[in-house]
Amino acid sequence: MMASYAKIDRFNFVPVYLPGLCPCRHDLSSKTLAFCKFSSKLKLTLTCDALVRVPRDRRFIAYRDCRILTAVARAQPNQIDEGEAEGLSPEVDRGLNSENTEVDAEMARNENLASERQQRGSQLKKRIVSGIGIGVCSAGVVLAGGWVFSVALAAAVFVGAREYFELVRSRGIAMGMTPPPRYVSRVCSVICALMPILTLYFGHIDISVTSAAFVVAMALLLQRGNPRFAQLSSTIFGLFYCGYLPCFWVKLRCGLAVPALNNRTSWPILLGGRAHWTVGLVATLISFSSIIASDTYAFLGGKIFGRTPLTNISPKKTWEGAIAGLGGCIVTVLILSKILNWPTTLPSAAAFGLLNFVGSLFGDLIESMIKRDAGVKDSGSLIPGHGGILDRVDSYMFTGALSYSFIKIFLPLYRV
């Protein structure tokens, strides 16, 4: 017969042997269960493969082949005691105990699986919502350009620099080297945040980076105690990684003011009109879009086809995922180049896509190497579902410098 369910409330769980109560006049096995009222609260759900009978005197008898699904008992100690089960043979008691143990283990496994699925679903929702929010804000900042773009980049650089120096001071890295003092780390974070603004104002960053490196080196040499080379190397790399490299995005977005559209297409005034669409804006939008496409296609390709590990630095990355990311990156650049009419030739667009993919991949691997040595999974917890700032912008670190060099050197060299 179909499985039937019965819910019992305010009954006591008492295993007893009640011969003569079976309507089919067969002997009951040791699995016969009786529930008597007037005791502690007990909520129980049964699924039965045999007849279930509830007499009018509110005694419940469940015959053999009954299986307990869920049991939640709310009782004070001593309300359900062993005295109520007196008269049972040791064999019956052991059988009941073993069956209850198996049921409890199965319930625990089911609860763990449900909890893991719920956590994964919640994490995925957070990632999607955060990703959409970051994408919309980034698109608005890129379209605005100028001071808006530079200040937003400076804020991200400051948070990223703080995360970098916290990684340097973490247990995994600090066990093998001496981290820089905290006041040096804080000063370097401020200097890194000022670099994008100085780049917008002066148009170049050579003098500011050199001056910052000199000041930091002098501060480390004049500190109390015994200065170490590890302190200098980690600090100078922080200035380069968190301050110098992001400045190329300012040079790319705000420094290349040549009109990019090669036709007479009219653009809406709300988007800045035709004059607003410069080479810097189009190149920045294409670079950002290609990096997003590279990460997305690499993730999907690795999930579906991933078999061969790419490197020991990041075990989850595979050659199949990298190939899928490369294809998605190049295709995205080709499509956007046709829409925005830049770059003007197919080979130059494909080369631009290849360059963005290489910069994105190696930027991700370098940040993974830093986190691996630090012994952490994420660089921070600022962005829900994504981790820290460095976890989101690692693919953009080297891409800005490569894109700017491609436009300033490669394209004029081949007259494209």
Q: Report domain extents, the chain.
A: 4-111, 128-413
Q: What average pLDDT does the segment 318-328 reach?
A: 96
Q: Report the candidate in 250, 237, 142 with the shortest Cα–Cα distance to residue 196.
A: 250
pLDDT value for 4? 39
Stretch 62-89: mean pLDDT, rounded? 42
Containing 365, the helix (H) or strand (E) segment is helix 346-374
pLDDT one-digit tens code per residue, 200-246: 988 888 887 888 889 888 888 888 778 888 889 999 999 999 999 99
Strands 4-8 and 41-48, by their bridges, are antiparallel
User: What pLDDT shows up at residue 262?
Assistant: 64
Instruction: State residue 161's pLDDT score.
Output: 95
Per-residue pLDDT band for 9 (boundaries 50, 70, 90) equals very low
Q: Amino acid identity of 160?
A: G
* pLDDT, tens digit, 9 for 90 and up, residues 260-317: 766 555 666 666 666 778 899 999 999 999 999 999 999 999 999 999 999 988 888 9
Confidence band, pLDDT 50/70/90 cuts, at residue 99: low
Side-chain-side CA neighbours of residue 186 (13 Å): 3
Which is higher by pLDDT, 186 or 95?
Answer: 186
Confidence of residue 41 (pLDDT cuts 50, 70, 90): very low
Q: Are 377 and 371 in contact (CB under 8 A)?
A: yes
Q: Which residue has the tokens 């952490």?
A: 376
Q: What angle separates helix 319-340 from helix 346-374, to the nearest 10 degrees?
A: 140
Can you give the pLDDT at residue 86? Answer: 47
Calpha distance 80→13 (Å, rounded):
8
**Angle of helix 229-238 versus helix 182-202 axis, rounded to 10:** 30
Whether the full predicted model's pTM is greater than 0.85, yes or no, is: no
Mean pLDDT score across all residues of the chain: 77
Task: Give residue 96's pLDDT.
Answer: 52
Is pLDDT at 87 greater than 70 in this prediction?
no
Strands of the sheet containing 4-8, edge to edge, are 4-8, 41-48, 66-74
pLDDT number for residue 98: 65
- The candidate with the shortest Cα–Cα distance to 240, out of 210, 201, 272, 204, is 210
Q: Which residues contact 132 (CB under 8 A, 6 or more apart)?
A: none
Question: From residue 285, how far is each of 55, 344, 376 by CA, in Å?
Answer: 75, 16, 32
Res 32 pLDDT > 60: no
